[in-house]
Structure 1
Amino acid sequence: MTRRGAKSDIHIGISGWRYPPWRGRFYPTGMPQREELTFAAHMLPTIELNGSFYSLQRPDSYQQWHDQTPEGFVFAVKGSRYITHMHRLKDVQGALANFLASGVLALGKKLGPILWQLPPNLAYQGERVEDFLALLPHDSRAALALARQHDERLNGRSWLKAPRGLRIRHAMEVRHKSFVDPAFIDQLRRHRVALVVADTAGRWPLIEDLTADFVYLRLHGDKKLYSSGYGEAALDRWAERIRAWRQGRQVKDAKLASEVAARRGRREVFCYFDNDTKVYAPFDAASLAQRLGVRTGFGGA
């Protein structure tokens, strides 16, 4: 069992934390909104920041999020939709520089993977994907070099510091069936970017190829998108998969886009529940964590 606050290679958490229906059910009745992140971060060891998807956040916000969470906590950060949905990955060097300069690096050692979620109507275009993947920095030195290229909109509100040697990891979530292509899997592996395993109640492709030395799993609901909970059998199934990925194995019934097997080797696993509308997410996360021996603030594991 992993001690709370100890370094673990399995991270089970939630996508976002500021949801009004959670108040009085997950959050204690009457808890001030400003205390919700601290509460959630003591209940679960990781959270996916999703405000960064909708707009550039400010450095002081990232600093506050860092300071409101315990040692050993990890944030995944959702990349800007300006890059993925508006520019659709094309000609995005300036936008990527602005995103990295906006304060992401202020999370320091609490920075986990950066998630790039593509829109459902963006089909696979190998050259466009290749150009984007080639831009992504994989350490703090490269990230800072790119962040310093930010434009005038970030003047006076940029953050251009990061711990030396900080690893910058990236994951890509696809929602168009044309990405079920071995060429795409090869690209991700060459650029050390994780393919997001996304359970979306059958709406978008579920692809389980392993493409990096970590796995990024998003559980949006297995029967109804964003709103259905995960039953005992479903949680057992995901726990089995996480154990295999952690140990460097692939499950026998994996849904794969490529016949080329992934390299064997232990993998860190990040898993986020996004079935938030009926307050299932934090409790499903705790149940899955318990199965995997990951300690939470719910008691038990």
Structure 2
Amino acid sequence: MTIPQDGLWSIGELAERAGTTVKTVRFYSDGGLLPEASRSSGGHRRYGPDALDRLGLIRSLRALDLPVPEVRRILEDDGTGGAVLADAVAGQLRELGGRIQALRWREAGLQLVQECAPEERADRLRLIGAVAAPPNTDTLVRFWRAWLPPRMAARDRAAFLEVAVPAPPADPEPGQVLAFARLNAFVTQPCIADRPCQPAAHHSPEFRPDVLYAGLAEAYDLAAPHLRRGRAPRSGEALDCFVAAYADAFRTRDTAGFRHVLGEQLAGDPRIDRYWELVAEVLGSRDGRPVPTPGAAHDWLLAALTTEPALRAAC
């Protein structure tokens, strides 16, 4: 098709040149995305050759599923080096990633329902259906906010939640989806009436929660290599750091007597072992070994405390 003598195309000529429909060109023109160069004596729209490139850009952006308002912002970019386009593409990638993750969770969930015994399917479907796809961690965060001491500083609480609340895997195995669904069900159960929901230490007026949880985080990090190597609980730096965290939190000294009392107190605290077992299943393995959780580290250190052959003060 040749360009008319006046250098302008009708709406039909532009649509034909672009390989689209007149309706599409009119839609973008009416929306102000594709300005017309002029009107004919009969009131018909006329477009210049630059309209073809602009229409191609619009269609390319729409093919990326960018909404019309985003397309408008990109077209009106005043020369910021493509920053508006870069931001729009980045946002679209995030949204697309979320949709892909949702599809992967749904696929794994359907596999779980399909593969279980017929008599178990209804219960499993209800279990998985209680979790969004992709899931969020809101219920887990609420659980820990109720568990952690109320006087704990926001910064320290956030640091603890960072390691205690597992991020849902982006590309989960069916077993990870089942574990996350069970984890969600676990944290939504009410506390048993005749058992406390929090450790005894949380209720002491002398207790300094920020000191304790900062020290525990260090102790758990020290215990993690032992867990990864499958070592039996033992005395050493990790245990000393663990006991020191409690001693410092109560402004006392690490003595043999304190260790004895601490071991008895911790053994009597409410247990949430099932939470950490499910967290380990959600996290999966790394280099063929389970990822150590704070709960596993705590149990390892408590076992080391209660079985050490000779209680002694830390250096």
TM exceeding 0.5:
no
The structure where strand makes up a greater share of residues is 1
**With structure 1 as the length reference, what TM-score do the two structures score?**
0.20
The structure where helix makes up a greater share of residues is 2
Which of these two proteins has the greater Rg computed from alpha carbons?
A: 2
